Amino acid sequence: MILMFENMKPKISIVDYGLCNLYNVSNALEHIGAQIEIIDKPKEVKIAKHIILPGVGAFKNGMRGLKLRELIEPLKEHIEKKRPFLGICLGMQMMMSKSYEFGEIDGLDIIEGNVVKIPNINSKNKHHKIPHIGWNKIFLSIDGKKNQLLKSQDKKSSMYFVHSYKAECNKDENILATTSYNDVNIAAVINKDNAYGCQFHPEKSGKYGLELLKQFIKL
Protein backbone atom coordinates (compact mmCIF):
# COMPACT_ATOMS: atom_id res chain seq x y z
CA MET A 1 0.00 0.00 0.00
CA ILE A 2 2.85 2.41 0.75
CA LEU A 3 4.40 1.82 -2.65
CA MET A 4 1.06 2.48 -4.34
CA PHE A 5 0.70 5.72 -2.42
CA GLU A 6 4.22 6.80 -3.41
CA ASN A 7 3.46 6.14 -7.07
CA MET A 8 0.37 8.32 -6.86
CA LYS A 9 2.40 11.36 -5.83
CA PRO A 10 2.87 13.94 -8.61
CA LYS A 11 6.38 13.63 -10.06
CA ILE A 12 8.37 16.84 -10.44
CA SER A 13 11.60 16.84 -12.45
CA ILE A 14 14.30 19.26 -11.29
CA VAL A 15 16.98 20.14 -13.83
CA ASP A 16 20.56 19.94 -12.59
CA TYR A 17 22.93 21.94 -14.80
CA GLY A 18 25.60 22.68 -12.22
CA LEU A 19 24.28 25.94 -10.71
CA CYS A 20 21.35 24.71 -8.67
CA ASN A 21 20.46 24.59 -5.01
CA LEU A 22 18.78 21.23 -5.41
CA TYR A 23 18.38 20.51 -1.72
CA ASN A 24 16.11 23.43 -0.81
CA VAL A 25 13.86 23.02 -3.84
CA SER A 26 13.63 19.24 -3.40
CA ASN A 27 12.93 19.56 0.31
CA ALA A 28 10.11 22.06 -0.26
CA LEU A 29 8.49 19.88 -2.93
CA GLU A 30 8.72 16.75 -0.81
CA HIS A 31 7.18 18.71 2.09
CA ILE A 32 4.05 19.37 0.00
CA GLY A 33 3.79 15.75 -1.11
CA ALA A 34 5.55 15.67 -4.47
CA GLN A 35 7.77 12.91 -5.80
CA ILE A 36 11.16 14.26 -6.90
CA GLU A 37 13.60 13.28 -9.61
CA ILE A 38 16.81 15.08 -10.56
CA ILE A 39 17.44 15.14 -14.30
CA ASP A 40 20.43 16.28 -16.37
CA LYS A 41 20.09 14.44 -19.69
CA PRO A 42 18.15 15.35 -22.86
CA LYS A 43 16.22 12.08 -22.88
CA GLU A 44 15.06 12.72 -19.31
CA VAL A 45 13.82 16.20 -20.19
CA LYS A 46 11.90 14.84 -23.18
CA ILE A 47 9.75 12.51 -21.07
CA ALA A 48 9.30 14.79 -18.04
CA LYS A 49 5.81 16.14 -17.29
CA HIS A 50 6.53 18.92 -14.77
CA ILE A 51 9.93 20.61 -14.93
CA ILE A 52 11.54 23.06 -12.51
CA LEU A 53 14.65 24.96 -13.58
CA PRO A 54 16.20 26.45 -10.43
CA GLY A 55 19.50 28.26 -10.24
CA VAL A 56 21.79 30.80 -8.64
CA GLY A 57 24.73 32.67 -10.11
CA ALA A 58 25.59 34.29 -13.42
CA PHE A 59 23.37 34.07 -16.52
CA LYS A 60 26.34 33.20 -18.76
CA ASN A 61 27.34 30.25 -16.58
CA GLY A 62 23.75 29.03 -16.44
CA MET A 63 23.33 29.00 -20.21
CA ARG A 64 26.75 27.35 -20.57
CA GLY A 65 25.66 24.61 -18.16
CA LEU A 66 22.53 23.94 -20.21
CA LYS A 67 24.48 23.96 -23.46
CA LEU A 68 27.18 21.57 -22.21
CA ARG A 69 24.48 19.08 -21.22
CA GLU A 70 22.59 19.59 -24.50
CA LEU A 71 19.47 20.63 -22.61
CA ILE A 72 18.51 23.84 -24.41
CA GLU A 73 16.49 22.35 -27.27
CA PRO A 74 14.79 19.66 -25.11
CA LEU A 75 13.69 22.37 -22.65
CA LYS A 76 12.30 24.50 -25.48
CA GLU A 77 10.43 21.48 -26.86
CA HIS A 78 8.97 20.78 -23.41
CA ILE A 79 7.66 24.34 -23.24
CA GLU A 80 6.42 24.36 -26.84
CA LYS A 81 4.31 21.31 -25.97
CA LYS A 82 2.80 23.44 -23.17
CA ARG A 83 3.92 21.08 -20.45
CA PRO A 84 4.25 22.72 -17.00
CA PHE A 85 7.55 24.53 -16.51
CA LEU A 86 8.78 26.73 -13.65
CA GLY A 87 11.99 28.75 -13.68
CA ILE A 88 13.23 29.99 -10.31
CA CYS A 89 15.53 33.03 -9.88
CA LEU A 90 18.29 32.47 -12.48
CA GLY A 91 16.02 29.84 -14.03
CA MET A 92 13.42 32.55 -14.65
CA GLN A 93 15.97 34.95 -16.10
CA MET A 94 17.19 32.32 -18.56
CA MET A 95 13.63 32.17 -19.96
CA MET A 96 14.21 35.64 -21.44
CA SER A 97 15.61 36.49 -24.89
CA LYS A 98 18.89 38.00 -23.73
CA SER A 99 20.85 39.07 -20.69
CA TYR A 100 23.28 41.97 -20.36
CA GLU A 101 25.08 40.54 -17.35
CA PHE A 102 28.82 40.56 -18.20
CA GLY A 103 28.14 41.12 -21.89
CA GLU A 104 25.27 40.18 -24.19
CA ILE A 105 24.21 36.54 -23.82
CA ASP A 106 21.35 34.73 -25.53
CA GLY A 107 18.73 33.09 -23.32
CA LEU A 108 16.11 30.45 -24.01
CA ASP A 109 13.92 33.13 -25.64
CA ILE A 110 10.70 31.72 -24.22
CA ILE A 111 9.51 35.20 -23.26
CA GLU A 112 10.52 38.24 -25.29
CA GLY A 113 12.60 40.71 -23.32
CA ASN A 114 15.94 41.26 -21.65
CA VAL A 115 17.65 40.79 -18.30
CA VAL A 116 19.26 44.00 -17.05
CA LYS A 117 20.99 45.19 -13.89
CA ILE A 118 18.76 46.62 -11.17
CA PRO A 119 19.56 50.35 -10.95
CA ASN A 120 21.05 51.38 -7.61
CA ILE A 121 19.04 54.61 -7.62
CA ASN A 122 15.31 55.20 -8.02
CA SER A 123 13.33 57.95 -9.76
CA LYS A 124 13.60 60.12 -6.62
CA ASN A 125 17.44 59.85 -6.65
CA LYS A 126 17.42 57.62 -3.58
CA HIS A 127 20.22 55.05 -3.51
CA HIS A 128 19.80 51.45 -2.39
CA LYS A 129 21.96 48.38 -2.04
CA ILE A 130 22.46 45.87 -4.82
CA PRO A 131 21.84 42.94 -4.72
CA HIS A 132 18.23 43.11 -3.71
CA ILE A 133 18.03 40.73 -0.75
CA GLY A 134 15.02 40.22 1.49
CA TRP A 135 11.28 39.83 1.78
CA ASN A 136 8.97 41.87 -0.44
CA LYS A 137 5.27 41.85 -1.12
CA ILE A 138 4.17 40.83 -4.60
CA PHE A 139 1.38 42.59 -6.46
CA LEU A 140 -0.74 40.55 -8.84
CA SER A 141 -1.82 41.88 -12.22
CA ILE A 142 -5.40 41.43 -13.42
CA ASP A 143 -4.32 38.29 -15.29
CA GLY A 144 -2.28 37.18 -12.29
CA LYS A 145 -5.36 37.21 -10.07
CA LYS A 146 -7.05 34.81 -12.49
CA ASN A 147 -4.07 32.50 -12.97
CA GLN A 148 -3.99 29.01 -11.46
CA LEU A 149 -0.38 29.34 -10.25
CA LEU A 150 -1.24 32.36 -8.09
CA LYS A 151 -4.63 31.12 -6.99
CA SER A 152 -3.69 31.02 -3.28
CA GLN A 153 -1.92 34.39 -3.16
CA ASP A 154 -3.44 37.48 -1.54
CA LYS A 155 -2.62 41.05 -0.51
CA LYS A 156 -0.32 39.78 2.24
CA SER A 157 1.79 37.58 -0.05
CA SER A 158 5.48 38.22 0.60
CA MET A 159 8.37 36.38 -1.04
CA TYR A 160 12.13 36.09 -0.53
CA PHE A 161 14.33 37.69 -3.21
CA VAL A 162 18.08 37.49 -3.85
CA HIS A 163 19.19 39.05 -7.15
CA SER A 164 21.13 41.85 -8.83
CA TYR A 165 19.46 41.64 -12.25
CA LYS A 166 15.81 41.80 -13.29
CA ALA A 167 13.74 40.67 -16.24
CA GLU A 168 12.14 43.31 -18.47
CA CYS A 169 9.39 41.77 -20.62
CA ASN A 170 8.50 43.35 -23.96
CA LYS A 171 4.83 42.61 -23.33
CA ASP A 172 2.99 43.43 -20.11
CA GLU A 173 0.75 40.41 -20.66
CA ASN A 174 3.71 38.18 -19.73
CA ILE A 175 3.93 39.71 -16.23
CA LEU A 176 1.60 38.14 -13.66
CA ALA A 177 3.07 39.81 -10.57
CA THR A 178 5.52 42.55 -9.67
CA THR A 179 7.35 43.75 -6.61
CA SER A 180 8.87 47.10 -5.68
CA TYR A 181 12.39 47.58 -4.37
CA ASN A 182 12.79 51.18 -3.20
CA ASP A 183 10.26 52.20 -5.89
CA VAL A 184 12.07 50.25 -8.62
CA ASN A 185 9.52 48.03 -10.35
CA ILE A 186 10.57 44.38 -10.73
CA ALA A 187 8.82 41.51 -12.51
CA ALA A 188 8.23 38.88 -9.83
CA VAL A 189 6.26 36.27 -11.81
CA ILE A 190 6.28 35.90 -15.60
CA ASN A 191 4.29 33.57 -17.81
CA LYS A 192 3.63 32.30 -21.30
CA ASP A 193 1.16 29.45 -21.77
CA ASN A 194 2.19 26.79 -19.22
CA ALA A 195 5.68 28.20 -18.66
CA TYR A 196 6.22 30.29 -15.53
CA GLY A 197 9.11 32.09 -13.93
CA CYS A 198 9.57 33.38 -10.37
CA GLN A 199 12.30 35.89 -9.58
CA PHE A 200 11.95 35.05 -5.90
CA HIS A 201 12.66 31.71 -4.25
CA PRO A 202 9.33 30.01 -3.46
CA GLU A 203 11.19 27.25 -1.63
CA LYS A 204 12.45 29.88 0.86
CA SER A 205 9.27 31.97 1.02
CA GLY A 206 7.30 30.27 3.77
CA LYS A 207 3.62 29.42 3.38
CA TYR A 208 3.05 31.64 0.34
CA GLY A 209 5.94 30.09 -1.52
CA LEU A 210 4.75 26.59 -0.68
CA GLU A 211 1.24 27.48 -1.85
CA LEU A 212 2.64 28.55 -5.20
CA LEU A 213 4.49 25.24 -5.54
CA LYS A 214 1.30 23.37 -4.61
CA GLN A 215 -0.52 25.08 -7.45
CA PHE A 216 2.31 24.33 -9.87
CA ILE A 217 2.14 20.59 -9.30
CA LYS A 218 -1.62 20.75 -10.02
CA LEU A 219 -1.08 22.20 -13.51
Q: Is 169 among the catalytic positions?
A: no
Q: Could you give the CA distance from residue 98 to residue 104 in angstroms, rounded to a whole number?
A: 7
Q: Indicate which residue of 20, 89, 169, 198 is catalytic.
A: 89
Q: Indicate the DSSP class of residue 172.
A: G
Q: Is 78 among the catalytic positions?
A: no
Say if CB 24 and CB 14 are below 8 A apart. no
Q: Is 73 among the catalytic positions?
A: no
- In this structure, what is the dihedral angle of CA atoms 151, 206, 171, 113, given to the nearest 10 degrees? -150
Say if CB 52 and CB 24 are below 8 A apart. no
Q: Indicate which residue of 50, 169, 201, 211 is catalytic.
A: 201
3-class DSSP assignment, residue 65:
helix
Q: Indicate which residue of 132, 163, 198, 203 is catalytic.
A: 203
Calculate helix-pair angle for 206-218, 22-31, nearest 10 degrees. Answer: 80
Q: Which residues are the active-site residues?
A: 89, 201, 203
